[in-house]
Copies of this chain bind each other. A is one copy, B any other.
Amino acid sequence: MNLIDQLSEKQKHIHSLESIAGLLGWDEQTLLPEDSADQRQDQNATMAKVIHQAETDPEIGRILEQLETQAAKHETAPILRDARRDYDRSTKLPASWVEKRARLCSEAYHAWAAARKNNDFPSYIPYLQRHLDLAKEGAELLGWGDRPYDLQIDLHDPGVDAATIDQLFSSLKSDLVPIVQTIVNSPTKARADIFKGFPVAEQKAFLEDVTASLGFNYKRGRIDISLHPFCSGNGADTRMTTRFDVDNPLDSLFSSIHETGHGIYEQGLPLDSLHNALGKAAGMGAHESQSRLWENQVSRSRSFWKYYEPKFRAAFPKQLEDISSDELYLAINSVSQNPIRVDSDEVTYNLHIIIRFEIEKKLFSGELAINELPEYWNAQYKELLGIEPKNDAEGVLQDVHWSGGAFGYFPSYCLGNMLAAQLWYAATEQLPELEEDFTRGDFSRLLGWLREKVHKNGARYHLLELSQHATGQTLSPQPLIRYLKERYLPLYS
């Protein structure tokens, strides 16, 4: 067997184990009987052990060393690049560090949940401090000791660093704040309380129709119910989830479309390469660009609703009879000053992210101490969003991410929003009839363009190269600003 096939065999084994661990995680959040969590914890630990064994197989190191002495071929270069990175990251972090982190994640999660419940940030400080220390220690071990925050970002979006994000976000911020102010000062206000009594079975049928039309392949995927919507699995078997509220049909619908965007991306990755870089997603930002593009640019558009409004009314004739088309469209594109990130709209969302990025950067540089977090958080919310959280529970304690040591994760959401808008304008420029397609419920041309420009490349290009490859442009906040102005200012002027 040649060396690249040997590597492939090892990677297939790792991928298969990871896909199994993924199914355990999906089942845990959708179907697991309430008292069976103890066994699932054991199973998760077992899979983590078996996966770590497979990832650190010294044979992989030997194969890589030999392959790296050969001239890299175009097709295999990205495979070797990411295989080396992953092997180094798995082998350089000693078991003691990995275990310490796993234990801390579990402890910090419970500490966070209690702190949020009791609105008690001080009790959470020691856990955050230990996470920060451990992240820095990990950076040392991996040779990123001088740029520990850049490592965190790189873990989510390879090739991106804090300086790059700084530039992008400061430009975005200065353009975005006035837009938000225009909208919130507008007398036009969307009303959320107009939706009442939408039966779950009909909601499910409607959203399955929509998501299948957008391009989700239900022969290789499912949608089930969980507390928080997510998309797991891979293109061979994609498991999305949603949740239902009879008085909030737009929440289920748009979160399903969001997860559908993730699912469509996974289903567009080359099925024969799921085990290596050619069949993996390009990173968190790229993934989020796909979910956002389908959720926002496509499914909140007038052209989308030109086709779907009659169907929506046919599914819920009574419930919608007193709601005008304008009211419906405004509710779909509602903007408000919400202190909670996950409840916020696509306009203000980016400011929530910018605040978190600034904080993470300052935590890693030492400019900000953990006990100063609440004060800084609240001041930033006041300045950028014009609101002040009532308390730390709806302020600095709102997100779970840091309790899992997931620093450098938040920026990807906003990078994804930027890429989504940039892809959108590139697509509509090349295919001016796209929106016309939507009015007939046809999304295949957009899907085909994304398959070609984004999906089929796997992780050959990481975020910044992907932007260049797919749109011919460097990643920039300007398309996002243009899109938000075009979509929202006419509504709220």
A residues adjacent to B (C-beta < 8 A): 12-13, 16-17, 19-20, 23-24, 27, 31-36, 38-40, 42-43, 45-47, 50, 217-222, 234, 236-238
Contacts and interface: CB of A to CB of B under 8 A. Distances in A.
Q: Which 10 A-B pairs have the closest CB atoms?
A: A36-B237, A39-B236, A16-B46, A35-B219, A35-B220, A34-B219, A33-B220, A39-B237, A20-B43, A16-B42
Count of this chain's copies in the oligomeric assembly: 2
Contact of A20 (B34, B35, B47, B220): B47
A31 B222 CA distance: 8
A93 B33 CA distance: 37
B33 A219 contact: yes
B33 A23 contact: no
Contacts of A33: 218-222, 237-238
Nearest to A40: B237
A179 to B, nearest CB: 42
27 contacts: A16-B42, A16-B45, A16-B46, A17-B46, A17-B50, A20-B20, A20-B24, A20-B43, A20-B46, A23-B23, A23-B24, A27-B27, A32-B237, A33-B219, A33-B221, A33-B222, A33-B237, A34-B219, A35-B219, A35-B220, A36-B219, A36-B236, A38-B236, A39-B234, A39-B236, A39-B237, A50-B50
A472 B23 CA distance: 46
B19 A23 contact: no
Contacts of A17: 46, 50
A317 to B, nearest CB: 24
A155 B462 CA distance: 53
A12 to B, nearest CB: 8
Nearest to A42: B16
Nearest to A39: B236
A13 B47 CA distance: 10
Contacts of A40: 237
Contacts of A219: 33-36
Given A23-B27, A23-B43, A33-B222, 5 more contacts: A27-B27, A32-B237, A33-B218, A33-B237, A40-B237
Nearest to A221: B33
A43 B24 contact: no
Contacts of A45: 16
A38 B220 CA distance: 10
Contacts of A35: 217, 219-220
Contact of A36 (B13, B16, B50, B220): B220
Nearest to A26: B27
Contacts of A222: 31, 33
Nearest to A275: B42
Nearest to A217: B35
Interface centre among A23, A47, A218, A238 (most CB of B within 10 A): A23
Contacts of A24: 20, 23
A453 to B, nearest CB: 25
A238 B35 CA distance: 11
A169 B50 CA distance: 47
Contacts of A217: 35
A12 B38 CA distance: 14
Contacts of A221: 33, 36
A409 to B, nearest CB: 27
B43 A19 contact: yes
A271 to B, nearest CB: 9
Nearest to A219: B35
A13 B236 contact: no
Contacts of A236: 36, 38-39
A45 B15 CA distance: 13
Nearest to A47: B20
A191 B33 CA distance: 39
Contact of A39 (B19, B42, B43): B19
Contacts of A19: 39, 43
A200 to B, nearest CB: 13
Nearest to A236: B39
A238 B220 CA distance: 26
